[in-house]
Structure formats: C-alpha cells, structure tokens
Chain A
Amino acid sequence: MNTLSSEERNALKDSVSKLMSDASTEAEVRRVMETAQGFDSDLWRALSEMGVIGLITDEKFGGSGVGPMELEAVMEETGAALLCSPLLASGVIAAELLQALGDETLNADLMPRVATGETIASAVITGDKGCWTESGVDISATAFEGGWQLEGRGNYVLHAQNADVLIVIANTESGLAAYTVDPSDDAVQIEALPTLDRTLRIASVRFSGAGAKQINATRPVWEAVSQALNLALVALAGEQAGGAKKVLDFTVEYAKTRIQFGRQIGSFQAIKHMAADLLVETESAISAARHAASSLADPSSHTHEAISLAAFACADAFVRTAADGVQMHGGIAFTWEHPAHLYLKRARANAQLFGSSDFHRENYLKALGG
C-alpha cells in the first residue's frame, strides 16, 4: 500500500472536488437519482480516469494501491456532493473483499476490470435481518456436479441491480465460503428495492440453485469480510463527515442572509446555538473519520475502536446536522426543490447501511474492553 504525502492527498481531494462541482451538481444528482441505473456512466468513466474507482486496488491489479486515508479524503468530497455511484459497492467493498480473500488467479482476471469500473462487482453478505455479523448470512452453498449451487436470499445489496459479477458469502457444511456468481444466471433473481434515499441503489438477490464458482480464499472468509467492512465503514464515515459539513455550510450561509423581524435569523440565539452545536458534531465527525482512516492504515493501532467510534459518531452527526438543518431553514426546507431533504435522506440511509449506531456503539464498548 502506498500512503500519499499530505500534499498529494490534498491534491487528490481537490481534483475530486473539482470533478464533483462540475459533474455531480445538485441538478445532476436530481436527474440521475430518478434514472433506473442510478448513476451516470460518463461520470463513472471520469472517476475511473482519475483513478478513484481503483483507488484502493493494488497496483499489480491496475489500481492506484493507496490506502484508507486517501479513500476517506475522497469520500468527504463525494459525500458533500451526494455523488450517485457504485463506488462504495464495487470500488471499495467488492474490491477490498476480493483482495482480502486473496485468490490470485481470480483477482488477476477480475480486479483490473473492477479497478477501471468497466466491471461492476457487488458483494452479497447479509440477508433479510440486515445484520453485519456472521449470523446475518442467509445463503447456503452445496457441492453439485463438481461445482457449487446457491440457495437463499441476500438483502440490502448495494448496486446489485447494476452488477456484472456478484461476490457471494454463503454457509457450507464446513463453514463460510465465498463465491462468484454471474447475475444473469436464470436462477438468480435480483429485485431492485425502492428506497427513501433516491440516490441509493440497493436490491435483494435470491438464489434458487444458482451455479457458483468458489473463490480460493487464503484466510478465513469472515476475516476477509471484516476487512472489507472496515474499509467500507471508513469510506462511509468520510462520506458522512463530508455530507454533514456541506449541510452545515449551506445552513449557516442561509442564516446569514434570511431576514425575519428585521434581522438575520442567525442573530437569534436559538439559531446561533444550534449552529454552534452542529459545528461540534461536524468537526467531531471529520476527526473521527480521519482518525479511523489513519488507524486502519496503521496495523499497530487500535483499529476496531477507531472504526466503531467513527461509524456511529459520523452517522449520528450527519443525521443530526441534516435534521436540524431542515429545522433551521423553516418551511423552505420542507420542499422537494430545496436540497436539504436530499441530505437528510442520504444521512438516514447511511446510518443504516452497515449496521445501526447501536450496533457500532456496542462494538466500540467491546473494543474498549467493556
């Protein structure tokens, strides 16, 4: 893994920011979120050219091979712009899962295509319970005519409806195993799910005897899943911190310009104090996200503790900032035309994607020995 210097990281962050302000404008987000695909192919290509999709993919597989700190920095920008894309699904979770499973033959073939975004990969991990522990896996695999067959259902699967390949975690008689599955197989049924956050794409995936190729994992499968989820949580924390900061910025700006009772509303202490509290939330989220990223990059640190902390602190900060942001705007933010609800809905969705804040608080306490 190459860790960039902070100047290099800032340069990367700036170029992503520039791309977002050109191509993930509010108008674009609103257009794209109403399409079935849910992301824009041109912007996906632009992200690829910038090396963002293959950011954490090893150089030997055609990626940039950088680490969690760079990923987190990029996600702050994409989160601020409400980027609609399979970046988290394919470029982060699926890519990291493949790397962690360590099947060199498969990776040599598949990862270069995932790194460029030409192939979209999606990882099927949890089932209907939406729970992110081993017990949440609800698919079973059985050996069949020299290959494998899958039965069961995965749920809340990010961008499964757009996937070219599925990486599936399933139970076997001898414990968890990982498989690749062709989503166009007749025995695979992918149902796109309607979501409150329209910038999100998730689906349920039902396997009814679908053929699967086993991935030759070089380590226990759940260990690999955990590694991928850790990176996903760091990425998500960055997205949440960036989103929260953006909401706070435009809310404070509004409080400076909106006049009631002959004064800017920001001159009322009720508004000023809410803004100050949200600044504490937002800055804490940024610190937590960056701390989680740097501790994931440094194997000697207390990684679990830092990641669990970021997971709930950033989720809660984004939800609260977006929710209070609506209140601080008044009626205007209750309209569809105003961007505040897009952030509120993203925040609510992000807070549930890989486990609730309660789940992460519990893990935090466990990591602290409690």
Chain B
Amino acid sequence: MTTTSNTNDESLRQEVKAWLAENWTQDISKELLNEQIYWEVSAARKNWLKKVVEARWAVPSWPEEWHGRAIANEQASIIEREFAKVRAPGAGQDRNNLWANTLLAQGQQGLKEKLIGPLLRSEVNMCLLYSEPGAGSDLAGIRTRADKQGDHYLVNGQKVWTSGAATAEYGMLVARTNWDVPKHQGISFFFCPMKQSGIEVRPLKQITNESHFNEVFITDATVPAENILGAPGMGWQVLNMALAYERSSMGEGARGPRSGVKQTNKEEPLINLAREASRLDEPHLRQQIAQAIAYKKLNALNTARAKADLSQGTSSSIMSLGKLAMSRILHEEGRLRTEILGAESLLEGADHPRAEDANFLSLNAYFTSIGGGTDQVQRNIIGERVLGLPKEPEVDKTIAFRDVRTS
C-alpha cells in the first residue's frame, strides 16, 4: 500500500464521516432504526436513500455515469464501514443490491437509464420470477415460455413461491426461448413488468401464517424486447450471476424477530433471553448459547475475510459458505430460544412476544435453508464449484429440453 493511497483513504474516511455527521441526524436515525418494515419501504427511508445516492455513497465502485465514484473496492469498503459504524443504511449497494448489480452488468442502456437510479433508491419493488412448480432446485428445468413477436416477447407459464410479487413493479424473470437445445442453453432473462393484465398474482399462505410469497400465473404477458438481460439463450449465465448476489446477501443476514418488541440493551439476544428467563446460570444452556453465538461470529469473520479478498481483486470461495452457515445459525437460534423458554414456547401472538419470536424464528429459518437454493443444493455447489469434486452425472444435461423427463 502506498502513502498516497493512505492519504486518499484517510481523506475519504473524513469526508464520509463529515457527511454522515451532517446528514445522519438523530431524528432520521431514530426513525429509520425503529422501523419494523420488511416488505415495504417507508417514505423516510426512500428520502434517506435518495440523499445517499446523490452524495455517491451508494455504489462508489461503480462508474460515475451510474451514481458511482469509480473507486477501488478497497476504498469503497471504507465507506461501507463508516456507514455501518453508525448503522446508516444505503451504502455497499455495489456489493449487495441484487437487482441493480444484475441490471448494470447485463442490461441494455435504455433500461439501465430507466431503472438503476430508482433501484438504488428503493423506489421500485422487485420480485424473482424463477421457481416453478416443476422447477425448483432444478431451475434450468423451467417451462415458462417467452416467444419473440416483433419488438416484444409474449410470455406464458406459471411461477411459484414468488416473494413480494403482489407489490412488485418488475420481476426478474427466467423463461425458455428455445426448446430445441439442452436445458441450460435455451433460457433468457428479463425484467418483466408486473402491473399488466397478463399477470395474475395469487398469494400463498406460509407456515408462519403470513402471505409474502405467491403463485404467479402468466398468460400472454408482454415484455419489451429491450428488457432482456444478456443475449437471448444466455439467461442461465445471467441467472447464475444474480443467484450469487442473492445467496451472498442471504449469507450476511436474515429477517429477525417479528414481535416488534425491542430489546432495550445491547446484550446478545440469546444471553438476554436466558437472563430474562432466569436460566443464564444453567451450564448446559451456557454451552449451547456460546456455541450459537460463535456460529454467528465465525460467519461474520468469514464474510469480512471474503470481502477483504474481494477488495483485493480475487474472488472469494468463502462467499459461497455464508448462506449455508446462516441457515445453521437461524435454525440453531430458533431451537435454542425454544429450549430457553420451555413451556412458554407453546404460545404465540402479541401477548407472548418471546414465544412469538422463538417460534417465528424457528419456522422462518426455512426461508434461508430452502429459499434461494436449498442447503442440499448449496452443499453440492460448494463441493463441485469450490472444492472441485467431481460432478454428479446429470441425466438430462445434453438432450434437447423437449425430451426431458418431469414429475
């Protein structure tokens, strides 16, 4: 590292700090940090993001043309760290904004101009139109079709488990554009407008008693040809890039408790819960609590190391581990909260927030262990792509998709 870059780093750090000191005021931070919003973005939050984007803190490693500063990843992470210190949202989107990153890398100029800004400011709601009843783990087995007709594509088929489809303005859609080639080669990737008559969204009730995911029935929906990302038939490559962004963000965090009751001190939640339940002195619980917190800490350390690797320009295999690690963390935390509460965990509802949280976390842990690719599939990916172990033979990899066997 040279002295110049050190000076540059330091002045950048001071610049962010000063900006945050001026803009991340008590009022704003209080409002945003107390929000319990997961599926909708509040006006206050949009306002804040707008400021962050204008000040070019959101995607500093991106080109200036796209709200960036064209600086190295290493420097961009300085900005992210300063934001993290004061818990201000909006930075680091060049790493973790799935939608904007995919669009920037693969989209056409017109679509980028239209949507990159709004995506960074969370002004458009998005969803992922990937999974189908017959194609979950085997995403390349999708049967939704997109047929080119002049300046647009006509789309027909059915998607399922689509989180957030009811409020989305666009869905990142994978559809088959060629049926005569093997399954990975005939897929294309689109930004599909959701608010049109050809798209019907039916909510599905989840085991958590919420309805955030949906079935999406697509009948003669139209997608402008310029909304394709990557070349026709190259959708699998675009998809893999998007999936990597999704999985890495799932490895860094997940939705917390939903009771809305805030812990007042900064203690580790499991320690706090055991203390409240007067069980913090039980040796077998202490051991398990230590282990559960350690899983979290170790994953955070892995992620930090992966980020450092990334900013030095090498891609990191550690990144692939985060989602699997997070799945274990969440299931374990749910289990342990249940164990600490004992009989109280039988209960649910607003009058029993501790039980509500333990149960919700236990159930919602499947969001991470199934959603975005199951733990089993994630292990296959780590084994094959990271460790270089031989691939399982795939019976349908080389035959034309028309001839593939289904459920």
Contacts and interface: CB of A to CB of B under 8 A. Distances in A.
- The interface residues of chain A, by DSSP majority, are classed as mixed
B137 interface: yes
A356 B277 CA distance: 15
A193 B405 contact: no
Contacts, number: 122
Contacts of A196: 345-348, 355, 359
B370 A258 contact: no
B207 to A, nearest CB: 4
B379 interface: yes
Interface in B104-122: none
B363 interface: yes
Contacts of A356: 339, 342
Contacts of A262: 138, 394-396, 404-405
Given A196-B347, A202-B346, A336 B395 contact: no
B103 to A, nearest CB: 26
B346 A156 contact: yes
Contact of B370 (A265, A271, A327, A341): A327
B209 interface: yes
Contacts of B342: 130-131, 352, 356
B276 interface: no
A261 B343 contact: no
Interface string B257-291: 00000000000000000000000000010000000
A144 interface: no
B407 interface: yes
Contacts of B405: 259, 262
B376 A331 contact: no
A330 B394 contact: no
Q: How large is the interface on B (under 10, 10 to 19, 20 to 34, 35 or more residues)?
A: 35 or more
Interface string B134-173: 1111100100000000000000000011000000000000
A337 interface: yes
A230 to B, nearest CB: 19
A156 B342 CA distance: 11
B349 interface: yes
A261 B395 contact: yes
Given A156-B343, A262-B395, A330-B137, A270 B370 contact: no
Interface string A313-347: 00000000001001100110111110011001000
B209 A336 contact: yes
Contacts of B206: 334-336
Interface string A168-193: 00000000000000000000000001
B318 interface: no
A156 to B, nearest CB: 5
The listed residue with most A CB atoms (<10 A of its CB), out of B205, B374, B376, is B376
A268 to B, nearest CB: 7
11 contacts: A156-B346, A193-B346, A197-B346, A259-B134, A262-B396, A270-B379, A326-B370, A331-B160, A331-B370, A335-B206, A341-B363
Given A257-B407, A333-B207, A341-B207, 8 more contacts: A131-B342, A194-B352, A260-B137, A262-B395, A265-B137, A344-B207, A348-B338, A349-B346
